[in-house]
Structure formats: C-alpha cells, structure tokens
Amino acid sequence: MNRSKPKAPAPDEPLPVEIVDAHTHLDACGAKDAADVTAMLDRAAAVGVGRVVTVANDLTAARWAAEAATWDERVFAAVAVHPTRTAVFSEQDRAVVAELAGRDRVVAVGETGLDFYWDYSPPAAQEEAFRWHIDLAKRVGKPLMIHDRDAHEDIWRVLEAEGPPETVVFHCFSGDLEFARRCVDRGYVLSLAGTVTFRNARALREAAVHIPTYQLLVETDAPFLTPHPFRGRPGEPYCAAYTLRDLAQLRGADVAELGAAVAANAQRVFRLPAVTARELRGREG
C-alpha cells in the first residue's frame, strides 16, 4: 500500500509586521546550498517572517549552519551538539564547536541541554556536555539556547550549579505555568514553537498566556512541530506566521503589537542588526 508523503501547509496570509523565527533547522527542511536557503527565506519573507536563526544538532550541521549564515543576510546561526548526540563528545569536537561559536554570524550556543525522552545518550554524558556548553556561552558572550525534554528539574539544577550566562533561551518551551514563572523570575527567555497551538497542550497554553511579552520569542523548530491545524506535516520558517496568529488569539493580543514585540525581543536577545530584512531588500533594489 502506497502512502503519500504529507504535504507542507500552504503559507499563511502576510503578517502586518516582520518577525524572526528564533529557532529553525534549514538543513533539515531540505536546504542544501545558498540557492535553497534564499528560496526558503523568500517564502518566509512573503508572509512576514523576515529573518531566522538556523540551529545545529551535530558537528556537520554546525559547520553547515555557520556557513549558511554567510549566504543570506536574513540568516543567523546557533551551534552546539544536541544532547542526544553527546554519547561521544571529544576534545576535538569541542574545539570545532568553540571555533564556530566565535564567528560573527553565529548568535547563540545551542541547542544544548538534556533530553530524557530519547535513549540515545547516557544522562551523565548529556550533563557533562551541557555544562561545557554553558561555559562556552559565557566565554563567547552569547545566549545559551536550551533543549529541555522531560528534564525540567535537572536542567534547573545544572543551571543553578554552573551559573547561567547573561542570556538563557528555553527553545520550544514545554513547561507548565509554575515552571514558566520560575524561568521568568530568573530572567530567562521562553521561545514558543508550534506546540503552543496544539489544542491538547493545555498546560503549555496556560503558561503561554502568562509569559511577559518582554521575555517571549516565537519559533518553528522546522521542519518539526508544525502548528495547528497542520500538525504532523513538514514545516518551514514561514509557518511561524501561523504560530504568532494563534498565540495572539490565545493571549487576547493584537497580532501586529505582539509581532512587533517578539521581533524586538529577538533583535535584543541575539543582538541582530537593527535593520530589518525588508529594509535590506529595499537597499538591494
């Protein structure tokens, strides 16, 4: 029996403001070269997703992300070794990540953290790598982008023990209201992916209402976690428009106002140039 591959959702209507996809994986979305990246960013720009942070999971992806960030002015990168890939994390591997993290268009160290859902890397190895990435973020003076899956308390324990860097971003935040409040009190930034639109994610949706706007980002984690009503389909950065609209409705906020706020947050958190992607295209024209 032949089963057709799920199709990507159609792009949403253009947003009234330009936003930033704070966490995506352009390589996993299918981009291989500069032309692919430009085409993907053009599709995103058409609905108001003007810039993206493409994130690495392993050394190959880290090298690719750092290079991709030089192909298009709308792309920035984050580099690290994902916790599920840390069973072997050698000194040579660490030297590669450290060198890439120091590059100008690499704006964060991540994604790093703990993942107790998948049984790919021993917890002790994950924690050791997490501690190393925390130290790296401090050394290079860039935000720490955290992957936290079924590991809230252990993530918290390690951050408290090591001392967090100046800026901490919880990618694809998955906690409840109580954990969100703890993170907010510490000054951490919470980035919401398509999961916040899932109608059965009641605890997360409750938390999302109460996150202060100043500490909020929006992301896709594309091609994963495509928002409602397209859950299960492959996503791209343009899908951030769906998530923003759903989040605005959930919070009782104006889409343009919320979009402007999360865009400003991304610019501040990742120290992006003040010029927007739209303005860059205008200059080129």
Which pLDDT tens digit goes with each residue over 17-70? 999 999 999 999 999 999 999 999 999 999 999 999 999 999 999 999 999 999
Regarding beta strands 144-149 and 75-79, do their DSSP bridges make them parallel or antiparallel, or are they unpaired?
A: unpaired
| pLDDT score of 281 | 59
**Among 144, 219, 205, CA closest to 177:** 205
Q: Residue 173 and residue 162: Cα distance in Å, rounded?
A: 21
Q: Give me the CATH code for the 19-279 domain, please.
A: 3.20.20.140
Q: Residue 223 and residue 31: Cα distance in Å, rounded?
A: 11
Question: Average pLDDT in the 76-98 region?
Answer: 97
| pLDDT score of 277 | 60
Residue 170: is its pLDDT beyond 90?
Answer: yes
Check whether 171 is labelled as a binding-site residue. yes
Question: Average pLDDT in the 155-164 region?
Answer: 98
pLDDT tens, 246-261? 999 999 999 999 999 9
Question: Average pLDDT in the 214-230 region?
Answer: 97
Residue 280: is its pLDDT beyond 80?
Answer: no
pLDDT tens, 189-220? 999 999 999 999 999 999 999 999 999 999 99
Residue 275: is its pLDDT beyond 70?
Answer: no
Cβ atoms 228, 201 nearer than 8 A: no
Q: Quote the percentage of the chain above a pLDDT of 70.
A: 95
State the residue for tokens 């899932």.
198
Check whether 221 is labelled as a binding-site residue. yes
Check whether 23 is labelled as a binding-site residue. yes
Average pLDDT, the chain: 95
Using pLDDT thresholds of 50, 70 and 90, give the confidence band for residue 1. very low
Domain extents in the chain: 19-279
* Long-range contact set of residues 245-253: C-beta below 8 Å, sequence gap at least 24: 245/12, 245/15, 246/196, 246/197, 247/192, 247/196, 247/197, 247/208, 247/218, 250/196, 250/205, 250/208, 250/209, 251/208, 251/209, 253/213
